[in-house]
Each structure stands twice: as structure tokens, then as C-alpha cells.
Amino acid sequence: MFTQKRILAVLSLVLVAAFALGACATPTPIEIIKTVEVQVEKQVEKIVTQEVEKIVTKEVEKQVEVVVTKEVEKIVTQEVEVQVDVPSAFATAPFALGDLKVRQALAYCTNKLDLIKTVYPLVAEDQQKALIMNTFIPTSSWAYAGDANITIYPFDAEKGKALLDEAGWTMAEGSEYRANADGIELALKFTTTTAAFRKAWAAVWEQQMKDCGVRIIRLHAPASWWFGDTTGLARRDYELGAFAWVGQADPGGRTLWACDQIPSPENNWEGQNGMGWCNAAADEGIKKAVNSLKLSDRQAAYTVVQAEYTKDVPAIPLFNRTETYAVVAGFQNFKPNAGTSYYQWNAQEWEIPGKDTIIEGFTQEPASLFTLVEDALVAGQAASFISGYSTTDHNFSFQARMLKELSTLDSGLAQMQEVEVKAGDMVRDASGTDAALAAGMKVVNTAGETVEFTGAPVKMNLLVVKYEYVDGLTWSDGEPLKVEDMQLYWKVRCDRENGATSFTICDMIKEIAWGEDYFGYTVTYNPGVMDPTYFLDPLGWYPAHRVLSDGRKLADVPAKEYTTLPEIAENPIGVGPYVLKEWVKGEKMVFEANPYFYLGAPKTPNIVILFITSENAEAQLLGGQVDILDGTSLVGVTETLDAAAKEGKITIIVEPSATWEHIDLNLSFGQ
Amino acid sequence: MTGYLIRRLVQMVIVVMISAAASYALLNLAPGGPTAGLRQAVQGGRNRITAEDIARIRAYFELDLFLPYRFSRWLIGQPRGPLTIFGREFFGDTIVGCYQERMATVRYADGTIKDISLGCAQDVTLGDLVGRRTSNGVLFGDFGLSWRLLRDRPVTMVLASRLDRTLQLISLSTFFSLVIGIPLGIYSAVKQYSVFDYVFTSLAFMGSAMPTFFFGILMILTFAIFFKNIGLPYLPPGSATAVRAYTIPWIGTVQPESLLDHALHLILPVTVLTIVNISGWSRFIRASMLDVLRQDYVRTARAKGLWERVVVVKHALRNALIPFVTIIVFSLPGLFGGAIITESVFSWPGMGRLYFLALGDYDYPVAMAILFITAVLTVIATLLRDFLYTLVDPRIRFS
């Protein structure tokens, strides 16, 4: 009997049961390790603090080696026999990955274009080819080394097979897979998520490997395990692992490619170098790349890292995903860009002839427009209509918008000074933490060497950057933007009770001088701060003059109240192209043009964000109820969309996404 | 009667409390939660997340308190600090939670690695709770603040934004299901084994067998997309209202948020829900009627020469309705809870979809509010059902 109540009840039960199961079952996707209950008489050395002694009385079973936390001085460990039972259907040969020839062979045997065709069949072939990744930096990025400076592995199965033969993995007569002299089959476990997208290309890749005689045992694990805090990737629990990285305008990479970023108990599982790749030149290169501020130095350093990376093959970069947008026919000035999700950057230029309202479909509703606390993409996108952009990051590079120009060293707006630091000064230490300088701390001096502070003065780099904004920035209520508004932002930003996640920005700034003869401010960072994105303005603004519904001025409201304040979370004002007129929860956000926008009035008077479901998104577009859909509501180019585009009803735009797929090779098994 | 009512009310309170405690515990013990993924978040140069940051955010969501205290604060808004009697504070040092655990990583001989807790590095005491934000407790009508969906705004605000849409959808479809389903069922039973009965029974089976999402998408493709393409009057493909005016052949221009606009948007989802309901309910009525029609007293009624209509409506139907009352009454929580799948297929901003989003986004205050209200409505429906029984069948008495 299908009553409403029963449907609800059954669904609730299913959900509750799923949760309950999830709570009870510890995911053990790779191997079931049977730990035998062993009673151990714990011997713990006398530990200094009172608190730690609690653990002496506490029965802690069967540990062998304890990685000491800060508070615990030392815990004596005892060898314990733990029986391991690996009921694996196949014994794999992960040690093969330690051999460069095997890794190169895997790269040669991979036909990236075929993988792309599997997942993006309706994308034009030249666009498909443009998606191929050669290294860990997208080819359109400023940091890309250039084809000539790296080793490229075009699909060449014969070359791959030859390399495997050379490495001692040969194909016996009549067998499907290669084996070494000991008769061990070349089988490798491949771990990734359960996403249909990955299952699709992984199945093809498995076949490509089979063609070269490599057996791939695919394991599609739940994302909660694969990306868990203490499981899967975070614990290097894989042989071959596939997932995606999001390319940034600033490529960073320190946590990925440096030797000290290989997660292990010894470093408290810090770092993302799960491959365990440690190459001296690359290690030096990546540190240089993220610790230099001059673009040319950084390019050179990234080139070195990419050259080593492609030579050593710690991972096989595959392809960029695509970002699909669909807009109604006739939509003008819709200009999404590779590398950024903020395609609303030029909303003031959007236009559909004959329509005074543009409707954008969102499948997720912003939780709050207080973007300091709410970091979901949709919140940022919706808020950007109101706030505008001070900078953008198109095509893996940065552009100034409301900022007069990027405050780079070359522009003269940023300066690097030498400063002598002494004990007690706030500095950024070599590990990137901002703290008061004390003896024993390691810092980077002006020569770029990491030195231990002993009490004797050390010379460090000091970054001073001036940020200046364009003229004419005006709040949508007509009040000009003032320095007080920025000061209010800074006060709220650094109040630990504001609900924000990270306060690094507050800790890394030594002082701010507010502009007197220019509109902006000058920031002096802590000595040692070498933030590669130093040229982006670190501050925003709040309308200090705004009077709240209860009569108070925004400037007088404690930061703690901001997250619940309607004038901040629901109806903020800004200096951007649009003003939020109405937010009907669960249904839509209605924006109208800001008459005071500094670039002139927007071309379309109204923009509406309509909250729809992904199940209903295409129908809404084809039915004429929405004008724009982006990649969060579209699964890609479907046949329905393709057909509508061919009939001229809609336009489909496919851009390479900043997100790219790759297969990581866990090298530790071979070492 | 009064004694019966009091007994029932006490039972109802106990049932609601148990269900609230069980669902609260299940939600909170499940893996995930608002801090999930923080450690894996992008650690950009300007956004590093430290262990201290994570502890602070845990405390922000009260996740540092032990579950019973959290539940009690959710239910009745207590404890908020030490017990104060005549200006003196008691139990100020009672430990009610752990702000930050001391973790250690242990490597076993077989190479497996595990994080274990070595106890609490910083306890939370009752005294620490002073000044923390908390709701007044759901028992006093305060469902607290939303965690995710409408961050830090009252849960009641989130619920209110969806309630009238859900009421519209579900009440209309329930109404049409009753008005159409009951006569269909009766007719089909009275004319058993007729052509109509066969056709109707087959259609009802198809209706029950067809998944709502498939049925919904089929309707959209036909009546919204296909009809529009061939120039026939079409229906909107989804949402509760339009944003801008649109023109429908034969009907003309429809202004957004006009009565016509509302009505047009309701047609498809109401139809889907109604058809699914009718196919179930009418078959139920049919079976129930068939049972009754075979009874001796019906034969007696016919034998004494009553009109067939009187026999069916007055004698048979009333008795056939008794089991049906249960179904109708239990659609009451559904009025509040909405229809998850239909709402998703039609982008209908209703309660079912909200519940689904709340679970997916770890917005436990919202999910708990929906579960709690649904539980309350369910026990009320049970009571109502027992009252209705006495109305439908005077032989039933309370004892």
C-alpha cells in the first residue's frame, strides 16, 4: 500500500539503517587483518605530566610502536606477535612499482585519449585531445614547463611491452599476464572511488593494461574510506590509486612533491606525497617554487620539478575533466574560463535580447552569504553578484578587477626588505607556522637557508605590499566605500569568535597601514612569510555605516553575532553589479541591478538564481524556465542536450575543468 | 473516557521520547558530521587548518559534549552551566565533554596503523558551558539553529519556508486521491469481473509498479517538453512558480506567481502523486468492499428489497471504511513530511526534499526537527484513528 506515510517511513528506515550500518561497519576494503587479542602488560616509562599517567592504568592492547605525541615523552614498546590473515584472491606484485621501467611501461601502455572518449563521448575530438595532461600542471597554466622540457609518454603499447620485458616481466607462452622469474604475476591493485565516472574510465584502463600483460585488480572503495581522515589515501593504503586534483592559478605543490611530505607515523601523517616520491632535485625545486616570489624564478623551479616528475613517473597524469555549461540560444557575453568556477565574473555584461531577467539554475542553495564562514562554491558565486570581484583567476593566472593592479614585486607595489629578527618577534618559521621567535625554532634566512634560531640575531625577508583599489567603489545604498569599512572587516576577520575555520591570514600579518593619499592599505607580513599569492588583496570590507533593523550600526555589532545577522548572512550589501532584492528560501534569490556599480549599470536589470534539483535541471532548461546551467547540475553533454543544441535551442560550452584525473603509483613497496 | 485519554497521552509522550532519543543517537553516532573533511580540506597558503581550529569548530557545533548532555541541551535546553542554588554553584567541575583529545598513532607488528585516543587533553566542565549558545529545547518549541542548510539561522525558519509548499502538494493530491480513488474502488468491487474491473485493476497494478521518479520524468518529457516542441499547450517542467511571464498556446501569457501560474505548476506533481495514491488506495477499498459485500447482512439488506445504492453506500461502505481509516489517518504525518522523490523530480521546494538535503549535508538540527515533528504527528494520528473508529463503527468503545 503506497501511502505517503509509508513511503516516508520506509525511506526513513532505509536511511536510518544505512546510517546504522555505516556506523557499525568499519570499511576494510583492501585486506582484512585479523588482530589477535593479546594481553600485554604495558610498561610505560615514568612520564612527566600527571595527565599522561592515566594511560598507564588504562588497558591499551597490543601496541607495538607508539608514535609519541607532544605531551607523551616516551612509551616503552613491546614486540607483539600479531597474526595477519590476508585472504586475498590474488597476490599482487606491488614491489614492481619500485622499478622505473615498470612505471614507464604503465605510462606508455595508457591510452589517455581513449579514456577521455569513454567519459566524454560527445565532446569534439580536438577538444578531447586538449584535455590530455602531461604533467601535474595544466598545459594552459603559466607554470607548465612546455612539452620540450619534460618527458612525454604518448600511447605506445609496443614500447611499454618492451620495457616490461627488459624489467624481467615476461609473457609466458599461452598466458594472459606477465610474470617475473620467480613466477609472480604482474598484478597490481588499483583503488579509487565508486563514482560512475571513474568506474567508466577505470574499466577501459584495466583493459589497456591487460593488453600489455598487466593484471589490474580494481577496487572501488567508498569515498568516505578513500578520502577519510585516517584511512585510504591519508594512510597510503594503496598500490595504484586514482583520484582528482584541482589545478589552481597558483600551483603550490609543496605538500605533494617534497620529500618531507610523505605521510608516515613519524610526521603524524602530514603531507600529501602518498606516492612516496623523493627526488632531491624535485624536492629542492618545489621548495624553491613555493618560496620564491619572482615569477621567472618560480617558472624555472616548476620546470625542474615537472622534468623530474615525468622522468620518474611517480604518477600518471591522465586528463582534465570538463566543465559543461548550457545556456539558452542567444545568450550574449557568457564567458566561462578554464581554471575558475566563478563564471559570473562578468555578469554585468550578460544579456539575452528581449529578456529583462536572466535565470540561473543552482542545484544547491547557499547556506549563508557570510562568505567568511560559508565557503561552499554556491555561496561564493551568489555572493559575487553582490560583492563583485577584486581579482579573478582565469586560465590559471590572476587578473586585477577592483584592485588597480596586482601588487607584484615587478609592479613596485610589493617590496622585499631585509630585517633583523630577535627573540619574541612574530615570524613565520620554516614549517610555515607563525609564532613568536624563540630559541630552537627553525627559520629561513635571507640567503634562503633554514637555520636554527639560537638567540643571535638572524636576517629574514620581510614582505611589504601596497594594495590600491580603483576609484568609484560605492555601496549599493549610495554610500562611498571608506577605509572604515576595511577596518571593520579586519576587526571582524580576526575575531576568534566569528565562526571562521582558519585564522592564518590574521596570524601572518604584522601590521596594516591604512591608505591616506590612496584608496587601499599597505600590509607588512611577518618576517619569513613568502606567500606566493601575496599580490592578492587579503582584506575585504563590511558596510560600517549600515543601520540594522534593531537600530544598531553594523560597526558596533560584535563579530560573534555576524553569522546570525540577517544583514550579513541573508541580505548583505556590496559594491558589485547586483543587489539582492529577495531570497525565498528553497526557491530563488532575486537580484536587481546596482545603479552605483563602478563599471556602469549592468546590461540586464534582473538576475534570478532558481534552486532546482539535478533530476529536473535539463527539463527546466529545455522548458525555458532557466537560462544557464553549469557543471554542478549537468552531468556532462547528454544526448538530450546535444540534440537540443543541434536544433539551435541551446548553446553548450565545454571548457577544460581545473579538476584533473591521475593515477598515483605507491613507490614505497619497492624501497 | 478521561482515564483512557490520560493513559494514551502518557503512552504518546513515552513513544515520542524514545523515538527522539533513538534518532538523535543514530544521527550522532553515524560517521561524518559537520567537521568531516576539514582535515582533508585544501590547505592553501592563507588557509591552514590547525588542530586547534578543528577543536574550536567541534565546540561550535557542540560536538565536544558527551552525547547525553548534547541530547538534553537539544531537548530541554539544559544544562547551561553549574547548578546555582541560593547563589551557590554546584557541579561546576563536572566533566561534560572533551574539547580536544590526545591522539597517538600506533603501529602494529603487521604494519597496520591505527589512531588511538590517549584520553582527553582538555576537558569541558559544566562551568565552561556558561555563555555558550544553546537553544531553549525542542520541548519548548525551539529547534535551535541550522548547521548547514541555512547556517546559523533558526531551524523553524527553514521549516516554515517549505511547509506551505508541502501542504499544497500533499493535501491536494490526498484530496484527489480520496475523491477519485474511493468511488473507483467501490465501483470496481460492485462490478467485480466486469470489463471495467479488469481494466481498472490492471491500471492500478501498473500505477503501483511504476517508480515515481520514472513516472514523473515521463510526464515531464511528454507534457512539458514534447507538447511545447509541437506547439500544444504545455505545463511547466518543475518548481513551484515561474520567475518570469511565459506564453502557453491557447491559454495566453501567464504572469509569474499568479493563481494560474501556481495551478499550472501544481498539475504535474499532484497528478503523479495522485495516480500513485489512487492505484494503492482504490485497490484497498475494492478488496475491503468485496469482503463486506459477501457478508450475510448485506444479503439480508438486499433481500428486504433495499435499493442497491443504499445497500452499497449505507450498509457496505461504512464497514469497508474501517481499515481504510487507518490509511487516511496515517497520511497526516505525510502532510508534513512531504514526498521526497516527487519533490526531487519536479524541483518542488518541499519538506521531503529538505529532509533529504538535511541528511546529506549533516544538518542534524533540521533532520531532527523533521523526525521529531513527524513522530509527534504519527502518535497523534494513532489517537485520531482510534477516535475515528468509534465514529465509523459505533460498536467500538474505549476501555
Q: If you write DSSP's letter for every residue of B97-128 in order, what string do you get? A: EEEEEEEEEEE-TTS-EEEEEEEEEEEEEGGG
Of all residues in chain A, the one with the smallest CA distance to B337 is: A8
pLDDT for A27 equals 38
Residue A251: predicted pLDDT: 86
Mutation for testing the A interface, residue in B151, B167, B173, B359 having most A CBs under 10 Å: B151
| Model confidence pLDDT, tens digit, residues B58-110 | 888 888 999 999 999 999 988 888 888 888 888 888 889 999 888 776 666 66
Task: List, as ranges, residues 302-331 from B with C-beta within 8 Å of A.
Answer: 327, 330-331
pLDDT of residue A46: 34
- The DSSP call for residue B348 is -
State chain A's mean pLDDT as an integer.
85
Query: For residue A474, is pLDDT > 50?
Result: yes
Amino acid at B57: I
User: A485 CA to chain B: closest CA distance, Å?
Assistant: 22
Q: Cα separation of A80 and A62, whole Å?
A: 7
What's the pTM?
0.83
Task: Tell which residue, A35, A614, A380, has the closest CA to residue B344.
Answer: A614
What average pLDDT does the segment B116-143 reach? 86
Confidence of residue B319 (pLDDT cuts 50, 70, 90): confident
Q: Is B245 on the interface with A (CB under 8 A)?
A: no
pLDDT at residue A396, as a whole number? 87
User: Given B48, B170, B346, which is nearest A4 (Cβ)?
Assistant: B170
C-alpha torsion sign, points B269, B270, B271, B276: positive
Closest CB from B41, B105, B161 relative to A586: B161
Count CB-CB contacts under 10 A for residue B9.
Answer: 12
| % of chain A residues with pLDDT over 70 | 86
- Residues of chain B by 3-state class (helix, strand, coil), percent to 5: 60, 10, 30
CB spacing of A3 vs B32 below 8 angstroms: no
Nearest to A225 by CA among A512, A503, A29, A488: A29
What is the rounded average pLDDT of the residues A33-46?
34
- What pLDDT, on a 0 to 100 scale, did the predictor assign at position A76? 32
Q: What is the mean pLDDT of chain B?
A: 87
The answer to whether the CB atoms of B118 and A69 lie below 8 A apart is yes
B231 touches chain A (CB under 8 A): no
In this predicted structure, the answer to whether residue A671 has a pLDDT above a threshold of 50 is no
On chain B, the residues whose CB falls within 8 A of the CB of A615 are 213, 217, 344-345, 347
Look at A20 and B359 and tell me if their CB atoms are within 8 Å.
Answer: no
Q: Is the pLDDT of residue B37 over 70?
A: no
**Higher confidence at residue A548 or residue A26?**
A548
Beta strands in A247-389 (DSSP E): 315-328, 357-362
More confident site: A73 or A439: A439
Q: In chain B, how long is the greatest CA-to-CA distance? A: 92
Best mutation target, A4, A26, A622, to test chain B (most B CBs within 10 A): A4
Q: Has residue A68 got a pLDDT over 50? A: no
Q: How high is the pLDDT of residue B105?
A: 67
A2 interaction partners in chain B (CB closer than 8 Å): 208, 276-277, 279-280
Instruction: Tell me which H or E stretch contains A245.
Output: strand A240-246
Task: Compute the count of residue pairs across chains A and B with CB atoms less than 8 Å apart.
Answer: 278
Q: How far is B339 from chain A (nearest CA, A)?
A: 7
A616/B23 touch (CB, cutoff 8 Å), yes or no: no
**What is the per-residue pLDDT across B204-252, written as a single tens digit (0 to 9) for each?**
888 888 888 899 999 999 999 999 989 999 999 999 999 999 999 998 9
pLDDT at A28 over 50: no
Give the pLDDT of residue A8: 60
d(CA A535, CA A288): 18
Question: pLDDT tens digits for A269-328?
Answer: 778 899 999 999 999 999 888 888 888 999 999 999 999 999 999 999 999 999 899 999
**Stretch A205-226: mean pLDDT, rounded?**
92
Q: Grid coordinates representing A489?
A: 572587516
CA distance A146 to chain B (A): 25
What does the pLDDT read at residue B4?
A: 86
Most confident range (mean pLDDT) of A200-204, B62-66, B117-121 is A200-204
Q: Pick from A2, A23, A501: which is nearest to B277 by CB?
A: A2
Would the pLDDT of A24 be above 80?
no
pLDDT digits (tens, 9 = 90+) for A578-616: 999 999 999 999 999 999 999 999 999 999 999 999 889
Please give the biggest Cα pair distance in chain A.
Answer: 87
| Cβ neighbour number for residue A328 with a 10 Å cutoff | 21
pLDDT (average), residues A245-268? 85
When CB atoms are compared, the residue of A432, A502, A564 closest to B152 is: A564
Give the number of other CB atoms < 10 A from CB of residue B246: 18
Contact: B237, A62; criterion CB under 8 Å: no
Distance CA(B338)–CA(B352), nearest Å, equals 4
Percent of the residues in chain A that have a pLDDT greater than 90, as a whole number: 63
Residue A21 predicted with pLDDT over 90: no
Question: Is B241 close to A587, i.e. CB distance below 8 A?
Answer: yes
Q: Is the pLDDT of residue A229 over 80?
A: no
Is the pLDDT reported for residue B356 higher than 70? yes
Please give the ipTM for the structure prediction. 0.88
Q: Give every strand in the sheet of A414-421, ordered side by side.
A: A414-421, A458-468, A520-525, A509-514
Compare CB distances from A625 to B27, B49, B239 and report the shortest one's residue. B239
Q: How far is B200 from chain A (nearest CA, A)?
A: 16
Q: Which residues of A touch B276 (CB under 8 A)?
A: 2
B100 CB neighbours in chain A (<8 A) are none
Whether A5 sits inside 8 A of B337 (CB atoms) is yes
Q: What is the mean pLDDT of residues A484-502?
A: 93
Q: Which among B30, B150, B343 has the least Cβ separation from residue A367?
A: B150
Which residues in chain A are closer than 8 Å to B359, comparing Cβ atoms?
15
Lowest mean pLDDT among A8-12, A429-433, B55-59: A8-12
Q: Which carries the bigger pLDDT value, residue A57 or residue A541?
A: A541
What's the residue count for chain B? 399
Is CATH 1.10.3720.10 correct for B157-392? yes
| A205, burial (CB in 10 Å: exposed 0-12, middle 13-18, buried 19+) | buried
Cβ distance of A564 and B31 shorter than 8 Å: no
Q: Could you report the per-residue pLDDT of B189-204, keeping only the tens digit for each?
A: 989 899 999 998 899 8
Q: Do B40 and A227 count as a contact with CB atoms less than 8 A apart?
A: yes
In whole angstroms, how far apart are CA A252 and each of A137, A198, A246, A582, A658? 10, 26, 11, 40, 14
Cβ atoms of B126 and B81 within 8 Å: the answer is yes
Does the CB of B191 have a partner CB in chain A at under 8 Å?
no
Q: Which residues of B touch A590 (CB under 8 A)?
A: 243
Contacts of B208 in chain A (CB under 8 A): 2
Could you tell me if B335 lies within 8 Å of chain A, comparing CB atoms? yes
Among A234, A569, A624, beta carbon nearest to B153: A569
Q: Which residues of B touch A11 (CB under 8 A)?
A: 340
| A234·B44 Cβ contact <8 A | no
CA distance B195 to chain A (A): 24
Measured between beta carbons, which residues in chain A are less than 8 angstroms from residue B344? 613, 615-616
Are B102 and A69 an interchain contact pair (Cβ–Cβ within 8 Å)? Answer: yes
Choose among A6, A503, A612: nearest Cβ to B239. A612
Mean local confidence (pLDDT), B370-379 = 93
Q: Which of A3, A563, A163 is nearest to B284 (CA)?
A: A3
- CA B236 to chain A, closest CA, distance in angstroms equals 7
A296 vs A58, which has greater pLDDT?
A296
Please name the residue of chain B whose CA is at the shortest distance from the CA of residue A617.
B347
Lowest mean pLDDT among A141-155, A385-399, B34-48, B136-150: B34-48
Contacts of residue A125, Cβ cutoff 8 Å, sequence gap at least 6: none
